[in-house]
């Protein structure tokens, strides 16, 4: 097996074997706690410029297929697993995960210490990292590789949404009768998201991340959607400006994940980087209005700063925190009290599950219906 090293910016080094493509890669080191959905994770644009470690020990058992990807390609900067499957076994499989990683030049590593890596990140927080494989890379020495990692870009201040967004608009047709027209701003949208709206009779016009208010409203949409995506929301001022115009117009709005953070900034709230983020499919979130708790899918490294004890003033009237994370109290949702606009930090589309929160798409449709 080809030797490989996973090198963290604080000097911690894990030795293992190359998995997928060989070479070197850099990114923010994070972990995902999901036991299913590795293909959805790999193809989620929100993972751009991140090296993802899977805490589930066996990865690749069911291979890959053409139905589950959330985008057209693998998006992660690097991949860390414990025990890659030797054989892919599933009736839907069209190939092996290792082959897909090699074909798309995604550098990975198999290490025995994924639990130790996860505990280290839980103590120290997410940080920059690099994967280096091959005898020549390993021969450079750990000190030299640590220094190379420290010179790589940080996630803070990174404007990545425009990098992963569609370059040209496209349309996802409604299933059955068209009930609504939705303008969806692609900040790193997952393929399941417009599908969930299409199922509810929405004709979804997916627009580039840098679309202006004028370009969005030129579609005369019944509602506007801002998607998930990678990077620092503080670096996406173009999206904030566009959303402010949408809110000024009173058009119903729904945001997910990065869209929630952009909504927060449009309401003059701040955002901040979480210590290690939330990534997985087992996060408990409470709707503060109903008291209902959803187990939900997460993938984010930033969050919104907002008061959780009552309403607060915004340029668009009073707003409030609608959802909170029961693990750490993090803001998981926002809504305006006098305008049809709300957002959540998690993923109700959740292709790999859970599907507890899928009703949020129905709520968006109710807002659009009520605003006609």
Q: Are residues 142 and 268 in the same domain?
A: no
Q: Pick the range with the lowest mean pLDDT from 11-15, 131-135, 183-187.
A: 131-135
Contact by Cβ (8 Å): 24, 131: yes
Q: Are residues 206 and 237 in the same domain?
A: yes
**pLDDT computed for residue 205 by the predictor:** 98
- 138: domain CATH number is 3.50.30.20
Q: Are residues 164 and 303 in the same domain?
A: yes
**pLDDT computed for residue 110 by the predictor:** 98
Last residue of a domain, one of 85, 116, 151: 151
Question: How far apart are alpha carbons 333 and 343 in whole angstroms?
Answer: 5
Q: Are residues 178 and 78 in the same domain?
A: no
Active site residue 278: no
pLDDT digits (tens, 9 = 90+) for 238-254: 999 999 999 999 999 99
**pLDDT computed for residue 253 by the predictor:** 98
Residue 24's DSSP bridge partners are 132
Q: Are residues 26 and 167 in the same domain?
A: no
- 218: domain CATH number is 3.40.50.880
Kindly name the residue from 9, 70, 332, 349 that is annotated as catalytic.
349
Q: Are residues 34 and 121 in the same domain?
A: yes
Last residue of a domain, one of 114, 131, 151: 151
> pLDDT band for position 295 (50/70/90)?
very high
Q: Are residues 172 and 111 in the same domain?
A: no
Mean pLDDT computed over 5-21:
97
Question: How far apart are alpha carbons 310 and 323 in whole angstroms?
Answer: 12
Kindly name the residue from 205, 278, 323, 347 that is annotated as catalytic.
347
**pLDDT computed for residue 287 by the predictor:** 96
The total of other beta-carbon atoms located within 10 Å of residue 234's CB is 18
Instruction: Name the phi and psi angles at 203, rounded to 5.
Output: -90, 115
Active site residue 205: no
> pLDDT band for position 136 (50/70/90)?
confident
Q: What is the DSSP secondary-structure string of 170-239?
A: EEEPPSSS--EEEEEE-SS--THHHHHHHTTTEEEEEE-TT--HHHHHTT--SEEEE----S-GGG-HHH
Q: Are residues 136 and 7 in the same domain?
A: yes
Contact by Cβ (8 Å): 210, 162: yes
Could you list the residues known to form a binding site, using ranges.
Answer: 46, 229, 231, 258, 261, 299, 301-302
Contact by Cβ (8 Å): 343, 259: yes
Q: Are residues 168 and 144 in the same domain?
A: no
CA distances from 205 to 72, 158, 241, 252, 351 (A): 18, 26, 20, 15, 20
Mean pLDDT computed over 158-183:
97
pTM recorded for the entire structure: 0.96
> Mapping DSSP to helix (H, G, I), strand (E, B) and coil, where does residue 162 land?
helix
Burial of 91 from C-beta contacts in 10 A (0-12 / 13-18 / 19+): exposed
Could you list the residues known to form a binding site for L-glutamine, using ranges.
Answer: 46, 229, 231, 258, 261, 299, 301-302
Q: Are residues 127 and 196 in the same domain?
A: no
Mean pLDDT computed over 227-235:
97
Question: How far apart are alpha carbons 142 and 144 in whole angstroms?
Answer: 5
**224: nearest Cα among 275, 265, 269, 184:** 184
pLDDT digits (tens, 9 = 90+) for 99-135: 999 999 999 999 999 999 999 999 999 999 999 998 8
- Structurally, the chain folds into a number of domains equal to 2
Last residue of a domain, one of 99, 134, 151: 151
Q: Are residues 198 and 218 in the same domain?
A: yes
> pLDDT band for position 36 (50/70/90)?
confident
**pLDDT computed for residue 7 by the predictor:** 97
**Residue 180 belongs to domain spanning:** 160-370
Question: How far apart are alpha carbons 370 and 364 in whole angstroms?
Answer: 10
> pLDDT band for position 208 (50/70/90)?
very high
User: Crossing angle, helix 237-249 and helix 258-266, to 10 degrees?
Assistant: 70
Active site residue 349: yes
Q: Are residues 190 and 330 in the same domain?
A: yes
Kindly name the residue from 9, 22, 70, 257 that is annotated as catalytic.
257
């Amino acid at each position: 097996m080809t030797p490989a090293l996973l090198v963290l910016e604080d000097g911690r080094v894990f030795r293992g074997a190359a998995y997928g493509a060989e070479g070197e890669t850099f990114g923010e080191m994070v972990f995902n706690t999901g036991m299913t959905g590795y293909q959805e994770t790999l193809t989620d644009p929100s993972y751009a410029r991140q090296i993802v470690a899977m805490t589930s020990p066996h990865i690749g058992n069911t291979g890959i297929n053409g139905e589950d990807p959330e985008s057209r390609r693998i998006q992660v900067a690097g991949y860390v697993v414990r025990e890659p499957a030797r054989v892919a076994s599933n009736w839907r499989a069209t190939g092996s995960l290792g082959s897909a990683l090699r074909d798309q030049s995604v550098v990975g590593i198999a290490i025995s210490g994924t639990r130790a890596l996860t505990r280290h990140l839980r103590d120290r927080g997410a940080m920059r990292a690099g994967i280096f494989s091959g005898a020549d890379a390993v021969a450079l020495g750990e000190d030299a590789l640590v220094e190379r990692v420290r010179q790589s870009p940080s996630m803070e201040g990174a404007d990545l949404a425009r990098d992963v967004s569609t370059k040209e608009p496209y349309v996802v047709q409604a299933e059955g009768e068209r009930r609504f027209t939705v303008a969806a701003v692609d900040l790193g949208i997952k393929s399941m998201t417009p599908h969930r709206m299409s199922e509810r009779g929405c004709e979804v016009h997916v627009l580039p991340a840098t679309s202006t208010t004028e370009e969005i409203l030129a579609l005369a949409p019944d509602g506007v959607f801002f998607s998930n995506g990678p990077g620092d929301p503080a670096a996406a001022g173009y999206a904030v400006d566009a959303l402010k115009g949408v809110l000024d117009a009173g058009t119903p709005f729904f945001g997910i994940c990065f869209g929630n953070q952009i909504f927060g900034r449009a309401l003059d709230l701040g955002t901040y980087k979480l210590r290690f983020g939330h990534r997985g499919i087992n996060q408990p979130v409470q709707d503060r209005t109903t008291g209902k708790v959803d187990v939900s899918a997460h993938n984010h490294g930033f969050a919104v700063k907002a008061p959780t004890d009552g309403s607060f003033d915004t340029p668009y009237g009073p707003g409030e925190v609608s959802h909170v994370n029961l693990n750490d109290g993090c803001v998981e949702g926002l809504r305006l009290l006098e305008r049809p606009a709300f957002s959540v930090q998690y993923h109700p589309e959740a292709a790999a599950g859970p599907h507890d929160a899928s009703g949020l798409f129905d709520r968006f449709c109710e807002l659009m219906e009520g605003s006609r």
